[in-house]
Structure 1
Amino acid sequence: MAVKVLVVDDSSFFRRRVSEILEHDSGIEVIGFAVNGREAVEKTAQLRPDMITMDVEMPVLDGISAVKEIMASNPTPILMFSSLTRDGATATLDALDAGAMDFLPKKFEDIARNNEDAIKLLQAKVKEIGRRRAPRPIKPLAPSRVTSPVSNKVPPASTSVRQPDRSFQRTASEQPSSAQTLPTRASGKKYQLVAIGTSTGGPVALQTILTQLPANFPHPILLIQHMPAAFTPAFAARLNGLCKIRVKEAQQGDRLEAGTAYLAPGGQQMMVEGRGGNKTLRVFEDNSERISYKPSVDVTFASVAKSYLGDVLAIVLTGMGADGRDGARMLKQTGATIWAQDEKSCVVYGMPQAIANAGLASEHLALNDVASRIKRETNCG
């Protein structure tokens, strides 16, 4: 059955262009259009699409406000289109906070190296996201506390951010065969580093996990999120403002410190260099066409395997494709611990599925259980 899509944009040219691209795929059917956020809310209620593509900046009602209203009344998977600017990045992150599932740059040349690849990626994202089922209605979002870098302060409990319910329900046949019972004790393994790789659905997943970690977390954390270069500074700043641990965009020469998470910059690769207690980050431009993702989970995981020799907890979260599988295999060979997010809680069960199919993960965890397992495994909570 084709994924039914509502296309929302105030530009008639862009609506027509997106519609033409989507309907070239037999697995997609465009069932309607909206020219502003208010009309998007109304047509979502009327047409009940499987998913929505949504512009951020629109008249009458902007995209972020429309996402909030749709997620509160008729929850539907939403893919945002955004400009690759600082303001566009902030607005897109606000939309993800409001309940949107993923985003793409509005200029197709910013999506992929060539137009054909960009078209295929858009079609694939729409089909993957559109296969999700509607979640239960939710209350409107509480506003985020901050969106700029701040010092490492523990936020008051009363200002915790309420996330929209993204538990898109699958049919019974799609449910995992059995729920995993979480270990009640740590494995006893000693770690020096935690590394987390993710893609589609990753911003929300990372925020869910990192906001639960204590300020005195005993290890450095590496974050590899597929994201454009314009977005990673704003995303790192937002996480830093929401988390008790420190979060920063990684820079060349950063020395790895406990209680700090380093986000790989968009459009670049991040590797660990050195052995012993003096490990630093190498951040560099990668012009190789052999590696599709920049940053790449495989590249970072492979460097970690060489520098830490198995004293690593590596986690692969929601995302399309198989980035992270080869790097996780290298880590596994050194004795590292590999976990993967479970199918039910993923926005897209691609990267974790690749880990599962390769037999690399010792645990398959629901997103809401990951932080508590990390704290238990690392003896910090």
Structure 2
Amino acid sequence: MIGSAKNQSPEPSAGGFAGTLRNIQMTDLIQMCCLAGASICVRVRQDQQQGMLYIQDGDIVHAECGTITGVAAFFTILGWPGGQFETLDAPLFANPTIREPYQFLLMEAARRADEQAQNRKEEHAAAGAALSKRLRVLIVDDSAIMSKILTSMLMADASIEVVGHAKNGEEALTKMRALAPDLITMDVNMPVMDGSTALKHIMIESPCPVVIMSNLGPSSYATILSFLNLGAVDFMSKPVKNSNIVKQQQRMVDRIHQAVKTHMKRFQRLRPPKLTQTDYMAVNDMAQSEQLVIAVSGVGGFLEMANMITSLPKAPATCVLSMQSIPPQFAPALSEYLHVRSRFEVRPLTDGDAVCPGRCYIGASGRLIEIGLNGPVWCFNDWTADPLGSDQNTFDLLFSRAADLFQERVVVLLLSGGEVGTLEGLRRVKAAGGHIIAPYPDKCIMPATVEPVLKEDVITEMFDPKDMVKVLRRYCR
């Protein structure tokens, strides 16, 4: 402790001096008093706190600080980072509360002070490191109001920092080069340079995860599909006033944290096969599927999912259910886009749809899907109570029911970003003899969602996404 000391004696004693000491270390003052064999009291103040130290015939005999006395009070007082102290006349102590030698006390106080300083230094460094590790986001939107809303929602999470804003694609490229953000949120329609052109430049110059923020509506679906094909890892609806804003904020933050984990260098454009009329399969709603393939994808998994659906071989005994983290209202547009590029008939999943061969259903993650009988035909039943809700057990129910009905004839395909519930459903699939296949973590766009499942030893086969066609031919009948 550094402080100032005043001698409170009104007049100098014969042969001595009285005065004020400034910027002196408390330990130096105590040591001088002890070496001189002095009897003195030192009153110490630090902000609103006060402590007293008593030296008698060169020994530290007592200390008090609030309700604390003795050695504990001594170390408390000397542990203060600074303050003021003054010397007073000392009373005699018949029963000292401190008996340790002053040399030990001063050395131990110095050691504790060094330890506290080191702890403060480490805490400061840790705080600085945490700050430097914050997810750095660039927001691109021509609406200043929307940019402000998105900034507020994202920065409500302490691990996210909005490092800049851009009003159009051209400005976004300039700021991307200057700021090197970890992730970019981008509006679809902007002046000067639209989002599509900007995204192309981003993917060429410096591939960075881009999340599309758009008002969802029929007029925007084609544009969103175009963005996803160009390399956008996810898309979300802009915040809506009449919905639960807290839930919207949490979902946005969660998906941003997921999106930043994508490996953009593994991105590959979709190259669907050239099909003729004879390649498309005829579908009979009353036919019973002998095999069920359930594909699960999410953030970063659009192209893997699209590649899977467009690579499906003619399989007259197989039904496919593709569950993706998309808004339900987007499923019809996505189904229409994939339908003309797949041998299967691709349709959005609705309550009561038949589990029939030759058909691929597009469903939205978070829906509570069960499989039950409707007359002689097995059907997908939507039991979702809250359209905006997400139950961690939704996939457990679906996987478990599929395992019970199809046993070794069920195949679960885990793609990038896919949700899997508590893994209990996957364990049921494996126990029933079914197959759980997933891409190698070092080959897929979003390994973070595959790795935890791999550690649980429920995956029956790993594959390279480039071999999707070969894998599907082996599993689809």
TM-score range (shorter-chain normalised) is 0.7 to 0.9
Match status 1:122 vs 2:252 = yes
Question: Given the alignment, which residue of 394, 400, 424 partners 1:326?
Answer: 424
1:56 corresponds to 2:188: yes
Which residue is equivalent to 1:192? 291
**Counterpart of 2:215?**
83
2: distance between equivalents of 1:309 and 1:142? 32
Deviation at 1:217, TM superposition (A): 5.6
With CA pairs under 8 Å and 6+ residues apart, which has the higher RCO, 1 or 2? 1
Aligned residue in 2 for 1:287: 385
Output the CA distance in 1 between the equivalents of 2:392 and 2:458: 23
Matched, 1:339 2:425: no
Instruction: Give, in angstroms, the shift of residue 7 of structure 1.
Output: 0.7
The superposition leaves residues 102-131 of structure 1 with CA deviations (integer Å, 9 ceiling, x where unpaired) of 111112569xx7433332332232233224
> What corresponds to 1:357 in structure 2?
455
Alignment match, 1:96: 228
2: CA distance between counterparts of 1:86 and 1:145? 27
Question: Does the CA-based 8 Å contact 1:236-1:247 persist in structure 2?
Answer: yes
Deviations 1:227-261 (A, max 9, x none): 11111011111111222222111234433333321
1:1-381 mapped onto 2 (5 Å cutoff): 1-108=133-240, 114-132=244-262, 135=265, 154=279, 192-216=291-315, 218-264=317-363, 268-274=367-373, 279-287=377-385, 292-293=390-391, 296-319=394-417, 322-323=420-421, 325-378=423-476
In structure 1, the gaps of 5 or more residues are: 156-190
3-state SS of paired residue (1:100): coil
The answer to which of 116-125 and 5-14 deviates more is 116-125
Aligned CA distance change for structure 1 residues 22 and 347 (closer, same or farther; 3 Å): farther
Q: Deviations over 1:80-104 (max 9, x none)?
A: 1122212223321211011100111
Question: One-letter code of the match for 1:260?
Answer: R
Q: Structure 2: how far apart are the matches of 1:222 and 1:230?
A: 17
Alpha carbons of structure 1 residues 118 and 345: separation in structure 2 relative to 1, 3 Å: farther
Q: TM-score, normalised by structure 2?
A: 0.62
Distance 1:21 1:265 in 2: 24
Give the deviation of 1:351 after TM superposition: 4.0
Task: Give the Cα–Cα distance (whole angstroms) in 2 for the partners of residues 250 and 289 of structure 1.
Answer: 14
Q: Deviations over 1:252-279 (max 9, x none)?
A: 443333332122257744332249x954
Moved over 6 A (4+): 141-146
Is 1:9–1:58's contact at 8 Å kept on the other side of the alignment?
yes
Instruction: Please identify the structure whose Cα radius of gyration is greater.
Output: 2
Q: State the distance in 2 between where 1:233 and 1:323 align.
A: 25
SS at match of 2:350: coil
Q: What is the CA–CA distance in structure 2 between the aligned matches of 1:272 and 1:321, rounded to whole Å? A: 19
- Whether the 8 Å contact between 1:197 and 1:297 is mirrored in structure 2 is no
- Decide whether the 8 Å contact of 1:266 with 1:294 is kept in 2: no
Question: Residue in 2 aligned with 1:176?
Answer: none
**C-alpha distance in 2 between matches for 1:271 and 1:37:** 44
CA pair 369-314 structure 1, distance change in 2 beyond 3 A: same
Q: Encode CA deviations 1:27-56: one digit per residue, 9 max, x unaligned.
A: 322222110122222322333222101111
CA positional deviation for 1:334: 1.8
Deviation of the 1:372 alpha carbon: 1.8
Distance 1:75 1:153, change over 3 A: farther
Query: 1:19 offset after TM fit, Å?
Result: 1.9
Unmatched tracts of structure 2, length 5 or more: 1-132, 281-289
Deviation at 1:377, TM superposition (A): 3.6
Letter in 2 for 1:72: I
| Secondary structure of the structure 1 residue equivalent to 2:354 | coil
- Distance of 1:88 and 1:295 partners within structure 2: 32
What is the root-mean-square deviation of aligned Cα atoms in Å?
Answer: 3.5
Report which of the two has the higher share of strand: 2
Moved more, 347-356 or 11-20: 347-356
Measured in 1, the distance between the counterparts of 2:463 and 2:377 equals 29
Shift of 1:136: 8.2
Verify the 8 A CA contact 1:73 1:137 in the aligned structure 2.
no
Q: Judge which range, 369-378 or 202-211, deviates more.
A: 369-378
Does the aligned pair in 2 maintain the 1:226–1:293 contact within 8 Å? no
Q: Tell me the TM-score normalised to structure 1 length.
A: 0.76
Give the paired residue count. Answer: 336
The code of the aligned residue for 1:126 comes to I
Rounded to whole Å, the distance in 2 between the matches of 1:78 and 1:225 is 18
